[in-house]
Structure 1
Amino acid sequence: MSKSEQNIEKLLVDDSFVRWIQGEADEAEEKKWLDWLREDSARFGLVKEARRMYTSLSFEEEIPETISELNRLRDAVEKYESTKNKFLRVHEFPGKQNAYTGLWASAAAILILLVSVLIVVQTVGWDTSPKRSKSTKPVYSTASTEYGQIRTLTLWDGSRVVLSANSRLTYPENYRGGDLDVQLEGEAYFSIVHEAGEDSRTFTVQTSEGEVTVLGTKFNVSTRTEETEVVLEDGKVHLEMSDTLSAVKSTYSYTMKPGERALFSPRRKGINVQATDPSLFTTWRNLEFKFHNTPLEEIADRVKEFYGVEVEFRNEQLKDVEFSGSVTNKNFEVLLHGLRTLLGMPITNENDTIIFGK
């Protein structure tokens, strides 16, 4: 028996785990399994297969007739047997021709146990109707970062969110599948897994100016200023914004293509789209700032937003001077040293105020 099969077998005989995947876990169990899941992203696939297997063995009726239930069990066995070869082809356990035997034996044992329970139910009349979780409302959590900090989050389906400095992401902690909405303040890079078939869902990032909806893609969202900026690296992104300032209410929408940068806010009265190099807006997650014909004022703003410092120009004309290149951003001092080299000018730090020029 493979290690993966052993793990699934252990999970399916754990009452706490079964309650969790059914949405019946209490608050303590919910936290226990969420913490366990976050420890290793490989467990997402394990949970997915365990839930799929358990679902194929579950019943829809509350107290059915014993004979009809046995027929349903037989159908479930035949259905699961018919998908066995497909399962083996997808996962390809090399060198183990009978790798599935142990897992199938466990499934059969579970079926036998369920039949025994049904007989007892018919005899003593226990109520087997599924219990409802205490609350169907989603429980939200907020992940945040301090100035100068970057944090990576792994979501249920293996999607990753890299949260930039001084940012907040609010997301449903007890997500059970289906469409997923998160709220962003600040900046984050999203790498969203594309799910197809019955697992298909949309992933929506809500900002104060509108929403960004995707199926599976890589993109950056920033709400640092009074508008939302979206840069698409890969995939497809749909933008939607409602004009709440005009007397005549309007809704603007646009579907982005890779290599585009979009800016939108009610004061713009539309969505402004331009071609760009996505790396100029996404390399921050790799501890690097990259610039191309970027005005010094914009470079200074990046430093201010990331580290929470003030900026000052000794010469106002410096603001419009453009620079190209990249600097490492492992920490504040490393960044300042890189900027001095790149810009070729004095840069000093006086009481958390960064001064550009003499």
Structure 2
Amino acid sequence: MSPSEKENFQRLLKKYVRNESTEIELEELFNYIKLQNHPNDILDVTEVLKNVKEFPEMDPEGRDRILKSILQTPQIKVTARNPKRNYWKYAVAAIFIGLFVWNNSSDKLLVLPVSESTPLQIPDEKIIFTQSNGVISLIDDSTDRTLYNDKGEKVGEITGKFFKDVSVGKDSQVKVTAYNSVYVPYGKTFELVLFDGTRVLLNAGSTLVFPSSIVDEKRQVYLDGEAYFDVVHNATNPFIVKANDLNIKVYGTSFNVSNYGEDIYSDVVLVEGSVGMYSGNPSNEIRLSPGEKGSFSKKDRIIDKRVVPTTLYTSWINGELVFRNATFESIVKKLERHYNVKINNQKASLAEITFNANFGKEPLEKVLAYLNRIYEIEYTINGNEIIIF
């Protein structure tokens, strides 16, 4: 970026922070961000902070929270990354100037403009933790961060792929529904301890939306994907997992929920304790006993249950994959999530075959070699894509 371009970029960014940009100036600013290849040339964060502090419509508590969060990370620059994937539906927008996003690996603060025409772009490999106040943390194995609310109060700690809620929500009731969320990309898992001590392990390709306190006398979370729950019993304030149209009411228990969007069933496997499953009217609840799997048909909205070996459904917790009479299509989906790859199956006849296999913490190459040796499946590897023929 030349000195004149840098000066113009700074002018545009300052006007954007103050909410004084014209449509033409906004378009010019976004083009600068998209084309920028030298992040160190972009406006220093201290200059941005000065403008943020002067922004007349910003709430003082929100401004202080931004300032306090920024001061935790030294030598921050404002930068932008090339868009890779759109996780807009998982983000909560901070409405004043965009989104402030922490990128731990590069020690940067990303200022990302957000609107329907400019959705949030986030690197594929990062776990995305979004606080209810709109602050987003991008998480990897080296992340070590303390989270604060708008009042500057400590509410959580992130260490690597682990989050612990340290807010005071355990003994409080709130009327305002404020939820955090975490998205786990393919190839990753993430563990959380919620405000009540409940532990949740999220599998790859999953999103969990959860509160930091009891809301309307309930502890209610929302799951898209797969998670293993170890729930702290509280008879007064029931724990409920909402998996789209399926509700799982928990009675102090350990269980696995699989609710991926592309699957035709949402499955609940009970390891110990007791849960109830229902869709619509709670009076139609079906109780599970330990060792049972309840399957909710998304099409027919019917719940069936049967006895299963629970380890088949919980092996992923230990980084393992276990298949019993599994269709090749279901195996492909799990391999894609587990290893963060794209598998292109060009051999239609495989769809008619069921497979049995146990894979520990094996690299993908060994898994493919096994399938080739035992089932004579031919394949080629092209970067991040596996082609089966």
**Structure 2-normalised TM-score?**
0.52
Residue 314 of structure 1 contacts residue 355 of structure 1 at CA under 8 Å; is this kept in 2? yes
Assess, with a 3 A threshold, how the Cα gap between structure 1 residues 285 and 177 changes in structure 2: closer, same or farther. Answer: farther
Query: 1:285 is aligned with what amino acid?
Result: I
In the alignment, what sits opposite 1:212? 248
Query: 1:144 is aligned with what amino acid?
Result: Y
In the alignment, what sits opposite 2:156? 34
Higher relative contact order (CA 8 A, sep 6+): 1
Residues of 2 paired with 1:145 and 1:239: CA distance? Answer: 25
Paired-residue identity, %: 28
1:145 Cα deviation from its structure 2 partner = 0.6
1:238 Cα deviation from its structure 2 partner = 0.4
Equivalent in 294, 299, 306 of residue 326 of structure 2: 294
Query: 2:150 is aligned with what amino acid?
Result: E
Residues of 2 paired with 1:259 and 1:167: CA distance? Answer: 24
In the alignment, what sits opposite 2:229? 190
Assess, with a 3 A threshold, how the Cα gap between structure 1 residues 290 and 266 changes in structure 2: closer, same or farther. Answer: closer
In the alignment, what sits opposite 2:100? none
SS in 1 for 2:357: strand
Which structure has the highest helix share of the two?
1
Residues of 1 paired with 2:326 and 2:162: CA distance? Answer: 40
1:304 Cα deviation from its structure 2 partner = 3.0
Residues of 1 paired with 2:202 and 2:163: CA distance? Answer: 19
- Number of paired residues? 239
Residues of 1 paired with 2:302 and 2:357: CA distance? Answer: 32
**1:134-160 C-alpha deviation (Å, 9 max, x unpaired):** x84132100111111100111122211
Residue 328 of structure 1 contacts residue 338 of structure 1 at CA under 8 Å; is this kept in 2? no
Query: 1:173 is aligned with what amino acid?
Result: S
Unaligned runs of 5+ in 1: 1-24, 56-132, 244-249
Query: 1:179 is aligned with what amino acid?
Result: K
1:282 Cα deviation from its structure 2 partner = 1.2
**1:319-347 C-alpha deviation (Å, 9 max, x unpaired):** 33233231124654465456556656444
SS in 2 for 1:280: helix
The question of 1:275 aligning with 2:275 is answered: no
Residues of 2 paired with 1:251 and 1:355: CA distance? Answer: 48
Assess, with a 3 A threshold, how the Cα gap between structure 1 residues 270 and 341 changes in structure 2: closer, same or farther. Answer: same
Residues of 1 paired with 2:366 and 2:270: CA distance? Answer: 29
Assess, with a 3 A threshold, how the Cα gap between structure 1 residues 39 and 185 changes in structure 2: closer, same or farther. Answer: closer
Residue 162 of structure 2 contacts residue 190 of structure 2 at CA under 8 Å; is this kept in 1? no
Residue 214 of structure 2 contacts residue 237 of structure 2 at CA under 8 Å; is this kept in 1? no
In the alignment, what sits opposite 1:239? 277
The question of 1:311 aligning with 2:347 is answered: no
Query: 1:322 is aligned with what amino acid?
Result: T
Which structure has the highest strand share of the two?
2
1:257 Cα deviation from its structure 2 partner = 1.5
Q: Which is higher, the Rg of structure 1 or of structure 2?
A: 1
Cα root mean square deviation, aligned? 3.8
